[in-house]
């Protein structure tokens, strides 16, 4: 069997997630044993004109040009994977949606903003169907490998439907709330093995809201810990602003 052809593409993002893939370390050699990377701007200059078995797409969709481009990529690939928060949930780019688009245009491009039509930021699945989601800002390398294996096995990957606290407790961290700091763990999708907390940082919610979060209850918690409520709104908006498009 020939090795599956894999390509990486980026849209509006920092390319940090692709960097995470490129820097995955030792397992990268094993990965290259089983897949053929045909396009990956981060590490090679070649371009590929044929079809792909797997396309990893980083970044969110922010303008008409990007919409056309992602549609083409979708047509050319058997499996499409959204890589990183920008691609899976709109991520930080979604913050744009909190503002008037014209304002954003003016702010970024000055008076010439009219020549740069901009759309509301969208996550990839809000524009074309996505087969696999790898959350995180940046992505968590072990999860990338897990998803890759699922792709090769031809089985779905389910993003954990529970919050980061679950993994955090198994790692026996001292809870941030005990340290007197707030933490987005209770309302954020797990899958990163509570990476940030293990390293002494709070969870800032980069993987997006968990399914069925109790946001009202969470507001109460913040109140009891004397943390201003708009802190939460800002944190949630920081990554989840694009969520509103999922409903329509």
Partner 1 sequence: MKTEHYRILEKSKITDFLDKLNTISKIAAPVYKGFNNYAFQTIKSAEEVSLKYIPTVIPPKKYFLPTKDSLLEFTVGNELKVEPTVEYENLILFGVHTCDIAGIRCLNMVLSDKPKDTAYLIRKKHITIIGLECNDYCDEFASCAFVGAHLPTTGYDLMFTELEDYFIVHIHSTKGSDIIEKTGLFKPAQTIHMEELKVLREKKSAIFNNEIPTERRYLPDLFDRSFNASIWKELEQKCLSCGNCTAVCPTCYCFDIKENVDLSLQAGERYRVWFSCQLDPFAKVAGGIDFRRERSARQRHRFYRKFRYHIDRYGMVFCTGCGRCSRTCMAGIKLKEVLTSLIRESEAKIWRKWL
Partner 2 sequence: MAKVVIKDSPYNLKKAKILDIKPLTEKEKLFKLVFEDKTWLDFEPGQFIMVSLMGIGEIPVSVCSSPLNRHYFEICVRAVGKVTNSLHKLNVGDIIGVRGPYGNGFPIKIIEGHDLLIIAGGLGLAPLRSLILYAIDNRRDFGEIHILFGCKTPGELLFEEEIEEWSKRLDIHFACTVDRADPDWKGNVGLITSLIPGVDLDPANTYAAVVGPPVMYKFVIKELLAKGLPVDQILLSFERHMKCGMGKCGRCQIQNLYCCKDGPVFTFKEIMDMAEAL
Chain positions contacting partner 1, by CB under 8 A: 27, 30-31, 33-34, 145, 148-149, 152-153, 160-163, 165-166, 169-170, 172-175, 177-180, 185-187, 210-214, 216-218, 220-221, 224-225
The listed partner (ligand SF4, partner 1, partner 2, none) that binds 195, CB under 5 to 8 Å by sort, is: ligand SF4
Q: Tell me: does residue 212 bind partner 2 (CB under 8 A).
A: no
* Residue 207: closest CA among 219, 194, 197: 194
Element containing residue 24 per DSSP (H, E) = none
Q: What is the DSSP string of 174-222?
A: PPTTTTT---SGGGBB--STTHHHHTTPPP--TT-BPSS--HHHHHHHH
The listed partner (partner 1, ligand SF4, partner 2, none) that binds 212, CB under 5 to 8 Å by sort, is: partner 1
Pairwise CA distance, residues 235 & 92, whole Å: 10
The listed partner (partner 2, ligand SF4, partner 1, none) that binds 196, CB under 5 to 8 Å by sort, is: ligand SF4
The listed partner (partner 1, partner 2, ligand SF4, none) that binds 161, CB under 5 to 8 Å by sort, is: partner 1
* Residue 213: closest CA among 231, 234, 240: 240
Residue pair 192/167 in contact by the 8 Å Cβ criterion:
yes
Pairwise CA distance, residues 54 & 77, whole Å: 6
Nearer to partner 1, 4 or 16 (CB): 4
Q: Tell me: does residue 155 bind partner 2 (CB under 8 A).
A: yes
Q: At what angle do helices 141-153 and 27-34 cross, to 10 degrees?
A: 20
Residue pair 242/100 in contact by the 8 Å Cβ criterion:
no
The listed partner (partner 2, partner 1, ligand SF4, none) that binds 204, CB under 5 to 8 Å by sort, is: ligand SF4
Q: Please give the residue ranges that form the binding site for ligand SF4 (CB under 6 A).
A: 136, 164-165, 168-169, 173, 175-177, 183, 185-186, 188, 192, 194-197, 203-207
Q: How far is the CB of 59 from partner 1 (least distance, A)?
A: 26
Give residues in contact with partner 2 (CB under 8 A).
Answer: 153-156, 158
């Amino acid at each position: 069997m020939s090795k599956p052809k894999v390509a990486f593409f980026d849209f509006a993002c920092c390319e940090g997630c692709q960097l995470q893939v490129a820097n995955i370390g030792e397992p990268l050699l094993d990965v290259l044993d089983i897949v053929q990377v045909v396009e990956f701007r981060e590490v090679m200059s070649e371009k590929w004109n044929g079809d792909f078995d797997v396309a990893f797409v980083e970044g969110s969709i922010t303008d008409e040009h990007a919409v056309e481009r992602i549609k083409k990529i979708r047509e050319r690939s058997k499996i499409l994977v959204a890589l990183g928060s920008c691609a899976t949930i709109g991520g930080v780019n979604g913050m744009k949606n909190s503002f008037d688009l014209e304002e954003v245009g003016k702010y970024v491009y000055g008076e010439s903003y009219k020549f740069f039509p901009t759309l509301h930021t969208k996550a990839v699945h809000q524009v074309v169907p996505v087969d696999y989601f790898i959350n995180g800002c940046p992505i968590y390398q072990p999860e990338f490998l897990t998803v890759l294996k699922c792709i090769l096995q031809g089985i779905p990957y389910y993003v954990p439907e529970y919050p980061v606290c679950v993994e955090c407790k198994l790692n026996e961290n001292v809870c941030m709330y005990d340290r007197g700091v707030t933490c987005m763990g209770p309302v954020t999708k797990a899958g990163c093995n509570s990476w940030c907390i293990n390293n002494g940082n709070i969870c800032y919610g980069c993987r997006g809201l968990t399914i069925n979060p109790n946001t009202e209850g969470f507001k109460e918690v913040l109140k009891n810990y004397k943390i201003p409520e708009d802190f939460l709104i800002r944190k949630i908006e920081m990554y989840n602003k694009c969520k509103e498009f999922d409903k329509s």
